[in-house]
Amino acid sequence: MKNKLIALIILLATIGEASMAADVLKASAQTFSITPKVGTPSGHTKTGNKIEVVYGDLKTTLVLFEEGANRLCYLTSALGVDGGALNKASVQILSKTLQIDPEAVVASSSHNHTIPWLNVDTVNVPEPGNPQRLSWELGQDYLKKLQAAADQLAKSLVPVTVEWGVAEENRITYNRRGRRLNGKTYFMREEDRMLVGEGYRGLIDPEAMVVVLKDLKEKPVAAFSFFTGHPVAAYNPEKLMSYGQFPQAASEKLSKHLGGVPVAFIQGCGGDINSKHMLSGTIEQARLLGEQLGDSFIIAAKSLRKSKRIGLEWSREPVDIPLASLPSESSLRKDLESIDDFVKRGNAGDENTYECVGMNFPKALSPVYRASLVQAVRRWYVWALEQHTTQNLKNVPTTMPISIVVARIGDVGFVGLPYEAFVKTGLKIKNEAALPCVLTAGYTDGHLGYIPDASAVNDREYQAGYFRYRGNVPPYKAPGGDACSIVAVKKLAEFAR
């Protein structure tokens, strides 16, 4: 009887140890880079302009989490991995290699404006000499390196703990939704910011956040960095360059501080937040912003807090974004007249082409380029007018269904939004979340453009009025993008328990 009791105790202990081993949180990470050539088509603008100068490489970082049978893989990059053909090809490789559901791949872009376009088409190969050949060659280089990185991920998983830290960084960004004396909003570009005053910031998210994954010897094995703001320093769509901007420069500095581990950058809800020096800045100014943010990341990394919670939880959550009614027929016709007049004058070189249908344009862009930006929204007005003339208003959608990803890794929450969320949406999640640290990520698993928060749905400057660039979509109405905040906060509260 005594021997049987001892055997039972040993068996229960063995089962307990095996269960604990199966449920421990593990992680691994890989970083790789590609470097475009001068002449490669741009990946952000749709004007056909090509990259004229290259400043270094562009990094992509993968982080794989595993807890028992549960896996979640983050793909973060300066490149546009959040949507389109590049996203589809990347998710396919990671899903197949890691043997996970495609929904377990979270693809998040820094939304860098100074990147090349990657052609990942493996069937229709451009001929040598074709202007698109450089994009194709770069795309194949990316796919090859992504596959190699994915092959290493599952082989290098180690048990990890989760720690996080926060520092304040208020030197490099500002809220770019200005408001005139008549109450109307406008896109505050660099020249407008300087008119308001060098010290202007407006409402921003100043948190430079760092999440560090450490092995059982307290040695960092990977990290996440987080900040909120368009990486557009020294960016000009008519004079294009390739550069990793402040997300990559700052993350590289943090990586060096942590011993060279991979660092995955997460872009915040920066729909209405700009970095300084857009359109008129220099590469030196752009590099300085990266240095400043990197210093703040290091400050955060020097005051890390250990998670009290353990484990990994995540889910995909459906959200319905409410849509408003279309403008009246008379107002649409009036706006169409304004658009046609603006485009005609811009194409003729008229410098006095700065404002049209709620949007404003900087002197740094040519009149022809300004005209092209307005021309792009004309088709929306034509579509909206047709809904009136064909008496089809009853069939116009009243909601736009989307999906968001919500996760918890230890004490760290993550919310991934497939659009350019305004800063108030991100702050709402952070302020109401039941977790002490939340990475509120825009530009994740989709690029639906700007979706304003509840306070901005009736504005028509570039960001709030971006629905006009998307095609057959009515304006948004309250709560707008904050509908995602409501769902995310509720889910994070469930995970926090």
The secondary structure of 89-129 as a DSSP string is: HHHHHHHHHHT--GGGEEEEE---SS-B-----SSSPPPTT
Per-residue CA distances from 29 to 59, 145, 433 (Å): 13, 14, 27
Element at 462 (helix H, strand E)? none
CA distance 284 to 33: 22
Residues with Cβ within 8 Å of 305's Cβ and at least 6 positions away in sequence, in order, are 163, 164, 165, 411, 436
Supply the pLDDT for residue 19: 39
Supply the pLDDT for residue 8: 40
Structure tokens at 172: 């490099």
Instruction: Spell out the alpha helix ranges (H) of 227-366.
Output: 245-257, 283-301, 329-347
Contact present, 25 and 10 (Cβ < 8 Å):
no
Tell me the per-residue pLDDT of 224-234, one tens digit each, with 9 for 90 and over: 999 999 999 99
Element at 168 (helix H, strand E)? strand 161-168
**DSSP-assigned beta bridge partners for residue 443:** none
Which has the minimum average pLDDT: 18-32, 240-254, 444-458?
18-32
Supply the pLDDT for residue 134: 96
- Tell me what percent of the residues of the chain surpass a pLDDT of 70: 95
Tell me the per-residue pLDDT of 271-316, one tens digit each, with 9 for 90 and over: 999 999 999 899 999 999 999 999 999 999 999 999 999 999 999 9
For residue 212, name the pLDDT band (cuts at 50, 70, 90).
very high
Supply the pLDDT for residue 44: 74
pLDDT of residue 9 exceeding 70, the answer is: no
pLDDT of residue 438 exceeding 80, the answer is: yes
Supply the pLDDT for residue 33: 98
The sign one gets for the Cα dihedral 337, 339, 344, 345 is: positive
Average pLDDT across the chain, whole number: 94
End-to-end Cα separation, the chain, in angstroms: 42
Residue 458, φ and ψ in degrees, nearest 5 = -95, 0
Q: Is there a cis peptide before residue 479, judged by omega within 30 degrees of 0?
A: yes
Between 364 and 102, the more confident residue is 102
Per-residue CA distances from 217 to 19, 70, 214 (Å): 22, 24, 8
Torsion of CA 485, 486, 491, 495, to 10 degrees: 70
Supply the pLDDT for residue 43: 85
When pLDDT is averaged across residues 396-415 and rounded to a whole number, the result is 98
When pLDDT is averaged across residues 125-143 and rounded to a whole number, the result is 94
The dihedral region occupied by 471, where left means phi > 0, alpha psi between -120 and 50, and beta the remainder, is: left
Of 214, 436, 167, nearest in space to 309 by CA: 436
When pLDDT is averaged across residues 55-77 and rounded to a whole number, the result is 98
Of 83, 59, 93, nearest in space to 443 by CA: 83
Amino acid at 258: L
Element at 486 (helix H, strand E)? helix 482-496
Q: 283-301 vs 245-257: helix axis angle to the nearest 10?
A: 40
CA distance 141 to 128: 16
For residue 47, name the pLDDT band (cuts at 50, 70, 90).
low
CA distance 43 to 243: 12
CA distance 151 to 257: 27
Sheet holding 207-214, edge to edge: 263-267, 220-227, 207-214, 161-168, 305-306
Residue with tokens 């560090």: 212
CA distance 139 to 124: 13
Contact present, 41 and 80 (Cβ < 8 Å):
no
Q: Cα angle vertex 354, ends 350, 357, to 5°?
A: 115
Supply the pLDDT for residue 49: 86
Structure tokens at 363: 């002197």
Where do the structural domains in the chain lie, given as residue ranges?
A: 25-154, 329-395
Between 146 and 8, the more confident residue is 146
pLDDT of residue 401 exceeding 60, the answer is: yes
Tell me the per-residue pLDDT of 327-360, one tens digit each, with 9 for 90 and over: 999 999 999 999 999 999 999 999 999 999 999 9
pLDDT of residue 2 exceeding 80, the answer is: no
CA distance 424 to 446: 20
Supply the pLDDT for residue 45: 64
Of 304, 300, 290, 299, nearest in space to 59 by CA: 290
Dmax of the chain from CA atoms? 100
